[in-house]
Amino acid sequence: MLSTMQDVPLLISRILRHGATVHASSQVITWTDGAEPRRRSFAEIGSRTAQLAHALRDELGVREGDRVGTLMWNHAEHVETYFAAPSMGAVLHTLNLRLPPQQLAWVVNHAEDRVVLVDGSLLPLLVPLLPHLRSVEHVVVSGPGDRSGLEGVRPRVHDYEELIAGRPTAYDWPELDERRAAAMCYTSGTTGDPKGVVFSHRSVYLHSMQVNMAQSMGLTDADTSLVVVPQFHVNAWGLPHAALMTGFNLLMPDRFLQPGPLAEMIESVRPTHAAAVPTIWQGLLAELTARPRDVSTLGQVTIGGSACPPALMEAFDALGMRVCHAWGMTETSPLGTIARAPGHAVGTDEEFGYRVTQGRFPASVEARLRGPDGDTLPWDGRSAGELEVRGPWIAGAYYPGPDGEPLRPAEKFSEDGWLKTGDVGTITQEGYLALTDRAKDVIKSGGEWISSVELENALMGHPEVAEAAVVAVPDEKWGERPLATVVLKEGATADFEALRAFLAGKVARWQLPERWSVVQTVPKTSVGKFDKKVIRKQYADGDLDVTQL
Ligand code: AMP
């Protein structure tokens, strides 16, 4: 028997229409290096989005299914493109501006972007690539920047404001199939070429509702969210879409992502929520310690993208900023789990123990753990295996490139269609995920596994350690052993013996690293995660000054 419900497709244009009318006065606030941030109401965003869609269709000839690339920081114009391209039936393709140039060109060609919208400040990155971009017919430049390099280039060049000026402020958004492609984003490609994940209108819509649930980020129109996570990193974790659903203001940092400006914008615009990877928060913490500011409005901080060290959580708690830890991947849209303690533990001594896990699965994300032999492991909080997930906003395949069949490599998808995350961990009976490592980063020492993340977290709890990354290195006797690389805080006096002694009470004795190195910085990937591939190579090439205890 069929239901008697209306069959209304879950479209991004519906989120836009709702935000621009019901939450008309909410704002996208873009930080500038001038005196005042730029403020644009959701009503204006709605009108300008329609104007942009008209321009893309009528002036640039963008048709349904065409890919529209963005090489942009977080700001109002990027939000407009977020809604214009999918709502008109095209596909938004956010380009990771931190990818090596060659990879960036590869990604544009692979997705066959017809248009690229680019910040004027990022032209020095785009212009040298243009001769290699086969499909790009139009470049739309937004904001200030030296445009002289664009003279005589093959794609037609437009100015964003001139392009949209005078066009109609309403658009008859098409009634699309909700399963159609809305946006795409490539994984950061730490192994091999990046892989394209294509989100549907339906997946974005449902994911946005999850972001807004009280047990997730739970923001309302009384909130302002500082979106530090880049719009090119998995749809800025769904925050722009979620904002137009519930009306919270978006505070966009543009290109001002250094700790100083971030502290300044928190103090002056007074957001209530912020989202970013741990390395950003480590930097902000150092800044706030050196130069205290009034950050009292910032009640909730969502940290994800890599494991949040418990010491960082404690430090933020002490400043009155409550950290909420979350796990996800490009392939999971990205919200997979979020760490809010269950009701019975809130306000008790047990609460912190829940908050430092990766968090609980929401109803729409099914999870299972697979042991080394492929057997499904129990949710007992002890049995560790590879996490596999499925659900309406989890990828079931990768983008093949034009005309190809979707790619389902066996190392990423199980035979019955679950996504193999490559993350190793445990799940408790209550559905809390605790990751111990990436499958490829775990240290296999004499038949036992050592969690690199556990060692890092313990080390980063030392008062003189700013950052620590631990990788597996070959060892004749044990197969692999941990190498600890540490960034010491200014004026630190701790030596390796002291650090090892500090770890001794926190992890099993046989897990203690005997190889140590002090480094200036931990190498980071294009989205700010520890790049362990680089550390392993530095070690193999003899580029690290290693002390053996
Ligand atoms: P990406 O697709 O670039 O966002 O990377 C996804 C990967 O980041 C995951 O598979 C995890 O290995 C890692 N990751 C994301 N969030 C967390 C977290 N909260 N704790 C540990 N690892 C995380």
pLDDT reported for residue 190: 59
pLDDT reported for residue 149: 95
Cα dist from 215 to 211, 337, 339, 362, whole Å: 9, 10, 9, 9
pLDDT digits (tens, 9 = 90+) for 430-470: 999 999 988 889 898 887 778 899 999 999 999 999 999 99
pLDDT of 191 above 80:
no
Q: Where are the beta strands (DSSP E) in 410-464?
A: 419-427, 432-438, 443-445, 448-450
Q: What is the CA radius of gyration of the chain?
A: 23
pLDDT digits (tens, 9 = 90+) for 149-190: 999 999 999 999 999 999 999 999 999 999 999 999 999 765
In terms of residues, how long is the chain?
Answer: 549
Active-site annotation holds for 444: yes
Amino acid at 20: A
pLDDT reported for residue 528: 84
526 lines ligand 1 (CB under 6 A): no
Ligand 1 center–CA 332 separation, angstroms: 10
96 lines ligand 1 (CB under 6 A): no
Cα dist from 492 to 92, 201, 369, 455, whole Å: 47, 51, 41, 20
Alpha-carbon distance 436 to 469, whole Å? 14
Query: What long-range pairs does 335-338 form, CB within 8 A, spacing at least 24?
Result: 335/207, 335/210, 335/211, 335/216, 335/237, 335/238, 335/362, 335/393, 336/361, 336/365, 336/389, 336/421, 336/433, 337/361, 337/362, 337/365, 337/432, 337/433, 338/215, 338/216, 338/217, 338/302, 338/362
Of 32, 162, 444, 448, the catalytic one is: 444
Alpha-carbon distance 316 to 300, whole Å? 10
pLDDT reported for residue 445: 87
Angle between helix 12-22 and 42-54 (nearest 10):
140
The whole-number average pLDDT for the span 340-352 is 97
The whole-number average pLDDT for the span 325-352 is 97
- Domains defined along the chain, listed by start: 442-548 (3.30.300.30)
Of 59, 449, 478, 506, the catalytic one is: 449
Q: How many CB atoms lie within 10 A of CB 501?
A: 12
The whole-number average pLDDT for the span 112-125 is 98
Ligand 1 site-directed mutation target among 327, 387, 389, 531, most atoms within 8 Å of CB: 327
The whole-number average pLDDT for the span 233-240 is 97
Please state, rounded to an integer, the average pLDDT across all residues of the chain: 95
pLDDT of 193 above 90:
no
pLDDT reported for residue 210: 98
Least trusted range by pLDDT, from 250-254, 272-276, 349-353, 520-524: 520-524
pLDDT reported for residue 418: 98
pLDDT digits (tens, 9 = 90+) for 380-424: 999 999 999 999 999 999 999 777 899 999 999 999 999 999 999
- Tokens at residue 510, please? 């046989």
Ligand 1 center–CA 34 separation, angstroms: 35
pLDDT digits (tens, 9 = 90+) for 88-103: 999 999 999 998 899 9
Active-site annotation holds for 506: no
Ligand 1 site-directed mutation target among 389, 412, 529, most atoms within 8 Å of CB: 529
Handedness of CA 59, 61, 66, 67 (dihedral sign): negative
Angle between helix 76-87 and 239-246 (nearest 10):
80
Residues 327 and 336: beta-carbon distance below 8 Å = yes
Ligand 1 center–CA 501 separation, angstroms: 30
Of 187, 272, 330, 357, the catalytic one is: 187
Residues 62 and 296: beta-carbon distance below 8 Å = no
pLDDT of 53 above 80:
yes
- The model's pTM is 0.91
pLDDT reported for residue 496: 94
Q: Please give the span between the terminal C-alpha atoms of the chain, in angstroms, as a whole number.
A: 71
- For the chain, how long is the longest CA-to-CA vector? 73
pLDDT reported for residue 494: 80
Ligand 1 atom closest to 188 (CA):
3
Q: How many CB atoms lie within 10 A of CB 106?
A: 17
Q: How many CA atoms lie within 13 A of 137 on its CB side?
A: 10
pLDDT digits (tens, 9 = 90+) for 13-52: 999 999 999 999 999 999 998 779 999 999 999 999 999 9
Ligand 1 site-directed mutation target among 423, 426, 533, most atoms within 8 Å of CB: 423
Confidence of residue 493 (pLDDT cuts 50, 70, 90): confident
Ligand 1 atom closest to 435 (CA):
21
pLDDT digits (tens, 9 = 90+) for 142-158: 999 999 999 999 999 99
- Residues with Cβ within 8 Å of 3's Cβ and at least 6 positions away in sequence, in order, are none
Amino acid at 228: V
pLDDT reported for residue 189: 60
- Residues with Cβ within 8 Å of 64's Cβ and at least 6 positions away in sequence, in order, are 88, 89, 90, 174, 176
